[in-house]
Amino acid sequence: MNLAEGVQIVSFVILAALVVITALGVVLLENIVYSAFLLGGVFVSISGIYILLNADFVAAAQVLVYVGAVNVLILFAIMLVNKKQDYSKLPRRWIRGGATALVCVGLFALLATMVLITPWSIETNAPELIENTVVEIGKHFFSDFLLPFELASVLLLMAMVGAIVLARRDFIPDTLPTEDGVVTSLQLPEKLSELEARELSASQSSDL
């Protein structure tokens, strides 16, 4: 083992540990803001592993798309949600937590089994050096992986339409009068209308 191989192994161990620790923080922390920040740490650590694999374009796309776009979008969505109430604890919450833990352990065991039984052959001859990785990835996108590439674009379009619908919720009236004189509320559960806010402030002032 030369110095370069030692540096690669140490770097891989550090990046893998960061991926595992930040991923556990994402799913275990109760504060969703901290979970979103740790999700960015997961993406950055994975991009470092891509750099160790000489996948420079994939590493740059990981940082630009996931860290610079997806993670920032998640943070903006968390910050802009008007959450006035705390989450109520559900009855028999331990059953759902146990089922979730069982599924996670099963997936981890499945992935670990696949890693262990896969014959990882190490060739003595070095692979051919790719001069332009962007061109090679483009060739595979429009030949071997054309169908998954198009399906991913459809999914992104659906996500964009959903984001537009959620962003336009402020234009929906909070109350709508019906023929029977009953007022129907069209607001989302986490959003308090101005009428409710006024009633709440009035009740608090009357109590004082």
Q: Is the pLDDT of residue 83 over 70?
A: no
Residue 176 β-bridge partners:
184
**CATH 1.20.120.1200 is the classification of domain 1-83:** yes
Amino acid at 50: Y
Supply the mean pLDDT for the chain. 78
- Which pLDDT value is given to residue 84? 55
- Which pLDDT value is given to residue 162? 80
- Which pLDDT value is given to residue 102? 92
Which 3 state secondary structure label does DSSP give 32? helix
Contacts of 190 (CB under 8 A, 6+ apart): 81, 82, 83, 84, 85
What is the crossing angle of helices 32-52 and 72-80, to 10°? 180
Pick 163 or 135 by higher pLDDT.
135
pLDDT cut 70: percent of the chain above it: 69
Q: Is the pLDDT of residue 2 over 70?
A: no
Average pLDDT over residues 100-119: 90
Alpha helix positions (H), 85-171: 93-117, 133-141, 146-167
Domain ranges of the chain: 1-83, 131-171, 173-208
Q: What is the pTM of this model?
A: 0.59
Q: Is the pLDDT of residue 9 over 70?
A: yes
Q: Is the pLDDT of residue 101 over 50?
A: yes
- Which pLDDT value is given to residue 19? 94
Return the beta strands (E) in the chain as ranges.
175-177, 183-185
Kindly state the tokens that stand for 8: 């690669």
- Which pLDDT value is given to residue 56? 84
